[in-house]
Amino acid sequence: MMRTFPIFVSFDGKPPLVVGGGPLAAIKTRLLLKRAGHVDVAAETLSPELSDLEAEGKVVLQPAHPGADQIRGRPLVISATEIDGEDARIAEIAHSLGVPVNVPDRPALCTAVLPAIVDRGEVTVAVGTSAAAPVLAQRLRAWLENELHPRLGDLAELAGQFRHRVAERLAEGPERRRLWERIFDGPAARAMLHGDEDAARKLIDHEIETAALAGTGEAPESQGRVLLIGAGPGDPELLTVKAVRALKAADVVFYDKLVGDGVLELARREAELVSVGKAKGAHSVPQAEINALLVARAKAGHTVVRLKGGDPFIFGRGGEELDALRAEAIPVEVVPGVTAGAAAAASLQIPLTHRDVSHTVTFLSGHEAGGKAPSFEHLDLKALASGNNTLVVYMGVTTGAVIAQRLLDAGFRAALPVIAVENASRANERRVATTISALANDAGSVGLKSPAVLIFGEVAGLPAAGAVDTILAHEEVARAYA
Ligand code: SAH
């Protein structure tokens, strides 16, 4: 399978060359004329459409059967003679000269694949599937045609006219980028897309002058801010729209170990991505240092995204970071995320509360400060054992057996269902069903790896059919899930 990398090629130098004068060559020539001033067409005779284009000066006829001299230095050659031997000959010359070549419907001969194009003037969207699924590319193109405003190109062109002024008035950096964001997200862009170019110009003028003046005052540089964002359990589709918007606006992203790669890919391409990851045990960046980093970058005027797995305020030390930022009077916004326990429950299709089965849900940490197993002294376990309650244990992979024993001691029934979900919402998600007593006696058989949550309670006996990967073969477990 050919794999390709997308680039945009300039036709400002030598024109592209189309070989062949028939209808297929005409289709390709028309495509190239979207950007090329003219196209050289090498053929004995031209189809009526190509002849018309020649009369308009858009096609320049070249001798048929071009050789290396006609191919060398071309930005692109399309061989559309529809004669296999001739197309192969052209492709071979192009390969030997390193000239990008496309032969329609002959991927083996191609070093360049033509994308499906959505054309909005200055704005071009190219969709490619490395020739694997051209029809899919066409469908995406149709969808994008609908999504992208028809005047998007006009907006880009107008912005282009202001680039020079903006560069004169504002130094490069976050201030300048924020100005452009205000222009593209605000009334100026809306006016332009409505077709009111005069209003758009005035609004852009106003934005530029306001931004330029803000930088000259005695007042400190406009301050940055910190967005404390919940990244969810791993699947990027579980991000909030606000989280995605924050990632797109970030100058720098400080992220934890549990943040998924797919989530980071959504960050603005120029954003600096800094791992301050805390794998349990492996001390990476100490909390005080993370706090200091956030403060320093915000004071430098940057939009700082602090990205935490799940929800920032559930076992995420988000509160400590918030305190540090407040102490320095730095503006903070908090965006909640899907916490791991909620993601696990969704994936199993078990409600954490259920009218008939569970009336409360308690989120617990399986670790205490210092890495010890928890005593749960702060909890009335006896009360929890007697009612219809669900317990969701985080960070309990290594302490699962101890926790299960504490719960048994407090009076939880031995056959109470427990489900562990590892890597909830990720491709390698694993779900294991057991019971409290089985977990207390033989945690090894559950074979859990971090990150995982453990759900204790009657609701853990209600997973959707087929939702559990492993049901441990203890008799009582089998009975519990029978
Ligand atoms: N703020 C996070 C929790 C951080 S504590 C949240 O709201 O989800 C780290 C613990 O979260 C891990 O030890 C594990 O128990 C749990 N966890 C995080 N991501 C998980 C995932 N994808 N699947 C299962 N558990 C996860």
Taking only the tens of pLDDT, the chain with its 482 residues reads 678 889 999 999 999 999 999 999 999 999 999 999 999 999 999 999 999 999 999 999 999 999 999 999 999 999 999 999 999 999 999 999 999 999 998 989 999 988 888 988 889 999 987 767 878 888 898 889 888 888 999 999 999 999 999 999 988 888 898 899 889 987 888 889 888 899 899 989 988 988 888 766 533 455 688 999 999 999 999 999 889 988 988 889 999 988 988 999 999 888 899 999 855 555 578 889 999 999 999 988 888 999 999 999 999 888 899 999 999 999 899 999 999 999 999 999 999 999 888 999 999 999 876 667 778 888 888 888 887 899 999 999 999 999 999 999 999 999 999 999 999 999 999 999 999 999 999 888 888 899 999 999 999 988 877 778 887 755 666 565 65
pTM of the model: 0.66
Burial 94-120 (b: 16+ CB within 10 A, else e): beeeebbbbbbeeeebbbbbbbbebeb
Q: Omega into 115 within 30° of 0, i.e. cis?
A: no
Q: What is the pLDDT of residue 216?
A: 60
CA 271 to ligand 1 centroid distance, Å: 25
Query: Encoding tokens for residue 212?
Result: 């330029």
Q: Which residue matches tokens 């992220």?
A: 255
In angstroms, the CA 317 to CA 197 distance is 49
Question: What CATH number does domain 152-216 carry, 1.10.730, 1.10.8, 1.10.3470, 1.10.530?
Answer: 1.10.8
Distance in angstroms between the alpha carbons of the first and the last residue of the chain: 47
CB 94 within 8 A of CB 71: yes
Q: At what angle do helices 152-169 and 197-214 cross, to 10 degrees?
A: 30
Segments of 12-90 assigned E as strands: 17-19, 39-42, 59-62, 77-79
Q: What are phi and psi of 460, to 5 degrees?
A: -70, -10
φ/ψ region of 226 (left if φ > 0, alpha if ψ in -120 to 50, else beta) reads beta
Alpha helices in 215-317 (DSSP H): 241-249, 261-264, 287-299
In angstroms, the CA 331 to CA 321 distance is 12
Measured CA to CA in angstroms, residue 47 lies from 21, 55, 80, 305 at distances of 6, 12, 13, 58
> Which of 65, 87, 66, 68 lies closest to 78 in space, CA to CA?
87
Known catalytic residue at 382: no
Residues 6+ apart with CB under 8 A from 210: none
Domain ranges of the chain: 17-114, 152-216, 225-338, 342-481
β-pair type (272-275, 252-255): parallel
Rounded-to-10 torsion of CA 236, 238, 244, 247: -60
In this structure, how many other beta carbons lie within 10 angstroms of the beta carbon of residue 121? 13
Residues 6+ apart with CB under 8 A from 281: 371
In this structure, how many other beta carbons lie within 10 angstroms of the beta carbon of residue 129? 16
In angstroms, the CA 4 to CA 201 distance is 40
Q: What is the pLDDT of residue 324?
A: 94
CA 326 to ligand 1 centroid distance, Å: 26
Nearest protein CA to atom 11 of ligand 1, as residue: 394
Known catalytic residue at 256: yes
In short, whether 234's Cβ falls inside 6 Å of ligand 1 is yes
Burial 437-474 (b: 16+ CB within 10 A, else e): bbbbbebebbebeebbbbbbbbbbbbbeeeebeebbeb
Beta bridge partner(s), residue 304? 226, 252
59: Cα within 13 Å, side-chain hemisphere: 29
Query: Encoding tokens for residue 170?
Result: 């504002």
> Which of 143, 105, 321, 121 lies closest to 230 in space, CA to CA?
321
CA 413 to ligand 1 centroid distance, Å: 26
In short, whether 470's Cβ falls inside 6 Å of ligand 1 is no
Q: Which of 40, 58, 251, 278 is catalytic?
A: 278
CATH no. of 225-338: 3.40.1010.10
CATH topology for 17-114 is Rossmann fold (3.40.50)
Residues 6+ apart with CB under 8 A from 317: 287
In angstroms, the CA 305 to CA 248 distance is 10
* Type of residue at 83: I
In short, whether 335's Cβ falls inside 6 Å of ligand 1 is no
Query: Encoding tokens for residue 300?
Result: 């430098």
Ligand 1: residue of 394, 446, 449 to mutate (most ligand atoms within 8 A of CB) is 394
In short, whether 260's Cβ falls inside 6 Å of ligand 1 is no
CA 315 to ligand 1 centroid distance, Å: 8
Q: What is the pLDDT of residue 220?
A: 43
Domains 152-216 and 342-481 share a fold: no
Query: Encoding tokens for residue 206?
Result: 């106003």
CB 418 within 8 A of CB 439: yes
CB 18 within 8 A of CB 41: yes
Q: What is the pLDDT of residue 218?
A: 39
In angstroms, the CA 357 to CA 374 distance is 26
In short, whether 452's Cβ falls inside 6 Å of ligand 1 is yes
User: How does DSSP assign 103-126, residue by residue?
Assistant: -TT-GGG-S--PPEEEEETTEEEE
In short, whether 347's Cβ falls inside 6 Å of ligand 1 is no
CATH topology for 342-481 is 3.30.950
Query: Encoding tokens for residue 82?
Result: 């529809």
Residues in the chain, how many? 482
